[in-house]
Amino acid sequence: MKKTSTRLADGRELLYYDEADDRVRDAVDRRPLTPVATASEIRRDVLLGDSVAIASHRQERTYLPPADACPLCPSREGHESEIPAADYDVAVFENRFPSLAGDSGRCEVVCFTSDHDSSFADLTEEQAALVLAAWTDRTAEMGQLAAVEQVFCFENRGAEIGVTLGHPHGQIYGYPYVTPRTDLMLRSLKAHADRTQGASNLFDEVVARERAEGTRIVLEGEHWTAFVPYAAHWPYEVHLHPTRRVPDLLALDDAARAEFPSVYLELLRRFDRIFGPDQPPTPYISAWHQAPFRHPLREEFALHLELFSIRRTSGKLKVLAGSESGMGAFVNDVSPEAAATRLREVASDK
């Protein structure tokens, strides 16, 4: 992998990640951009004990442009985009409309491919491995920032999820605090350690139970296990864990990195087959959960990826209404065992 760092016309950082070591990236951003002005502010909710990013400048962000005006496609004559090069393998740049910026963290956009009409599931294993390398590198770099406590690599796919750009891409958030979801897991992790006097790790027990029971296992590799969790919140939800527990992407060994592309691409392709061949692509969120950098339980945390869809059946979405949105109390319309069965049924070798 070759990494090339450059700057966009307004000073934001742009990075190219290329499979070929001899690739030269010298295209210049010639757009007449003014410096980015952000108004990100972190406010603490004293009743709930969590934080909210106030980012009113995001109201002006680009919203569902036509394909010929996509800001994530390579630049060409008559269309200068966020990526000056005429093509690219993987590109990462600072978001022009960030939720978090400066002392409030950092937000980046990750373009998985230059092909506008593609998706992550369409990538080759080599391309997926390059994305994994980019996620890992950005986690390392953001971890060096004083304002960042935790790095979150994720992809929103589909208009139903709220995606505003159709080009295959994801984002990376560097939070200036430990997120509420991670905080809950860390509290459960500590409570379990206290109950067992440190004799076992809660993440290890969860994965071991799923492997032993088998009913919710979706697929198993030598270095990764994918399963529908026992208390899944979403109609179709899969958790993917490396066999050897590690706190973040930086700690994955070479064997796990080598196997990840085939396992992950298979999961994504199965998601697109859940509802049948005549259905549109399945909307999903794919989210890497990584340990905070400076938390005392960092080494006990388990890196894992959560992949889930809000589509519960053909033409119907799981809408977060009163119980979920008002009280945070989820009700799932699909049993985890039925979801796991369906995800096994649509395996590529069937």
Closest CA to 234 of 300, 160, 126: 160
241 three-class SS = strand
| CA distances in angstroms from 175 to 1, 72, 103, 269, 290, listed in the order given | 27, 24, 10, 30, 12
The residue written with tokens 């269309």 in the block is: 79
Strand partners, 16: 4, 91
Closest CA to 219 of 349, 344, 130: 344
Exposed e or buried b for every residue in 305-315, given b needs 16+ CB within 10 A?
bbbbbbbbeee
Q: Are strands 304-309 and 13-18 parallel, antiparallel or unpaired?
A: unpaired
Catalytic position from the list 57, 79, 116, 169: 169
169 catalytic residue (yes or no): yes
Enzyme catalytic residues: 169
